Amino acid sequence: MRRSLFGLLAVVLGLSLVAASCGSDDDSSTKAAFIYVGPVGDAGWTYAHDQGRLAAAAETGVETAFVETVPEGTADFGNYARDFIEQGFNLIIGTSFGYMDDMEALAEEFPDVVFDHVSGYKANGTNFGNTFGRMYEPRYLSGMVAGSATSSDLIGYVAAFPIPEVIRGINAFTLGVREVNPDAQVEVVWTSTWFDPVVEGDSAQAMLDKGADVIAMHQDSTAAGEKAEAAGARWVAYNSDMSAHAPAAHLTAPVWNWGPRYTEIIGQATDGTYEGGYYWGSMADGVVDLAPIAADVDAAVKAAVAERKQQIIDGSFHPFQGPINAQDGSVYVAAGDVLDDGTMLSMDVFVEGVIGSLG
């Protein structure tokens, strides 16, 4: 067994040497390795990525592999990436923000390997690129569902950290809420953690105690939903359809659908067209979407959401189109204007209707 492994390794190394010496980029045997920050069974962020991996593998037929629960800010990422590269993997996809600098350095060290990083802001124009999704689009739609569901007009939003990605989501959600329910307010609770179910659940409980009857979240665990379920309130989940965790509370969820993007990256890596740029995929691209809306939600609400979804996809509506007021009542987006990508990517103000501070 051991000998055959060495033999295999020698063959792989030999082949890659041949490939490298020929200077050929059209090595058709793309092998894609995924490095995840959480466990694939987390029902959230990492689960969604692994579903994407499976979909892309089925679509393209290439060999894929993954390693889960790789912490940020340690040597682990580099070690796993090097292991994969030694095994002949020539596409490395890392799915956590904190992998960014490691991936940038590795991309320089291994120019023949493609590195695609999810959720960061760096790229090198050749073999290191960036992928993320316009989650604010389905967030807006989920806000419409939440705004229709609340009767106390207070919605709790359990959120991780005040970074642009999260602020953008809160704002889009709130704009959706207030399109259908102008009196409703969205109160933000910062947990300062991505994954601590105890804190997340307790933060949701604090908002339920305060009178919120819908809980939304930008967290990776399902704890907020379980508290909403126990209190007889409703819940807007995140990352993936989490209805199994709180069947009565679950309204809908803005979800990731990484399959199409991963298929695309594998295709580009295979035919040598990968450019190492910035990719910010939309609902039209299929990278983000809204999970099915709960059966007990009014058909009129579902129809309104479906209409908005179609408008966002065809470009006739943008969640951040003016007029939009900031939290303090000043004009944030003038009538007729639409926020550009740069402003959205560095968003650091709340819109009107949000209760809470930016930390």
Partner 1 sequence: MTEASLIGLLEATVSFGALLYLAALGEMITEKAGILNLGVEGMMAIGAVTGFVVALQTGNPWVALVAAIAAGALIGLLHGLFTVVLGAEQVVSGLSLAILGIGLAAYMGRGSVGQPAGAELVPVDWGPLSDIPWAGPVLFQQSPLVYMAVLAGIAAWFVLGRTRLGLAVRAAGESAPTTDAAGHSVAGLRLGAVATGGALAGASGAYLTLSITPQWTEGVVAGRGWIAVALVIFGAWRSGRVALGALLFGLTLALKTRLQTFGVDFSPILLSMLPYLLTVGVLVAISIRSRNRPSPAPAALGIAYRREER
In the region spanning residues 312 to 341, those forming contacts with partner 1, defined by CB under 8 A, are none
Among residues 1, 75, 244, 335, the one that binds partner 1 under rule CB under 8 A = 244
**In the complex, what is the shortest distance from the CB of residue 316 to partner 1, in angstroms, rounded to a whole number?**
38
Lookup result for tokens 């983000």:
288
Contact between 193 and 226 under an 8 Å Cβ cutoff? The reply is no
Contact between 72 and 96 under an 8 Å Cβ cutoff? The reply is yes
Among residues 64, 222, 263, 327, the one that binds partner 1 under rule CB under 8 A = 222
Quick one: CA torsion of 313, 315, 320, 321, rounded to 10 degrees?
-150
Cα–Cα distance, 163 to 351 (Å, whole number): 15
Contact between 126 and 275 under an 8 Å Cβ cutoff? The reply is yes
Assess 137 for contact with partner 1 (CB under 8 A): no
Angle at 302 between CA 300 and CA 307, to 5 degrees: 95
**In the complex, what is the shortest distance from the CB of residue 43 to partner 1, in angstroms, rounded to a whole number?**
4
Cα–Cα distance, 255 to 100 (Å, whole number): 23
Neighbour tally for 163: CB within 10 Å: 14
Lookup result for tokens 């809306």:
293
Binding piece for partner 1, criterion CB under 8 A, among 18-26, 91-99, 188-196, 303-311: 188-196
**In the complex, what is the shortest distance from the CB of residue 67 to partner 1, in angstroms, rounded to a whole number?**
13
Among residues 165, 196, 285, 337, the one that binds partner 1 under rule CB under 8 A = 196
Contact between 72 and 99 under an 8 Å Cβ cutoff? The reply is yes
Q: Give the pair of three-digit tokens for residue 251.
A: 């309204």
Nearer Cβ to partner 1 (40/339):
40
**In the complex, what is the shortest distance from the CB of residue 195 to partner 1, in angstroms, rounded to a whole number?**
7
In the region spanning residues 70 to 129, those forming contacts with partner 1, defined by CB under 8 A, are none
Neighbour tally for 313: CB within 10 Å: 15
Assess 249 for contact with partner 1 (CB under 8 A): no
Q: Binding string to partner 1 for residues 16 to 45, with x set by CB under 8 A, is what?
A: -----------------------x-xxxx-
Count of residues that bind partner 1 according to CB under 8 A = 39
Q: How far is CA 271 from the centre of its chain?
A: 27
Nearer Cβ to partner 1 (152/316):
152
Among residues 24, 69, 74, 311, the one that binds partner 1 under rule CB under 8 A = 69
Among residues 7, 111, 125, 211, the one that binds partner 1 under rule CB under 8 A = 211
Assess 190 for contact with partner 1 (CB under 8 A): yes
One-letter amino acid at 288 equals: V
Assess 50 for contact with partner 1 (CB under 8 A): no
Nearer Cβ to partner 1 (7/232):
232
Assess 299 for contact with partner 1 (CB under 8 A): no
Contact between 123 and 278 under an 8 Å Cβ cutoff? The reply is yes
Assess 67 for contact with partner 1 (CB under 8 A): no
- DSSP one-letter string for 186-212: EEEEE-S-SS-HHHHHHHHHHHHHTT-
Among residues 91, 123, 223, 312, the one that binds partner 1 under rule CB under 8 A = 223
Q: Containing H/E element for 156?
A: strand 154-159
Binding site for partner 1 (CB under 8 A): 39, 41-44, 47, 69, 187-193, 195-203, 205-211, 221-223, 226, 244-245, 356-357, 359
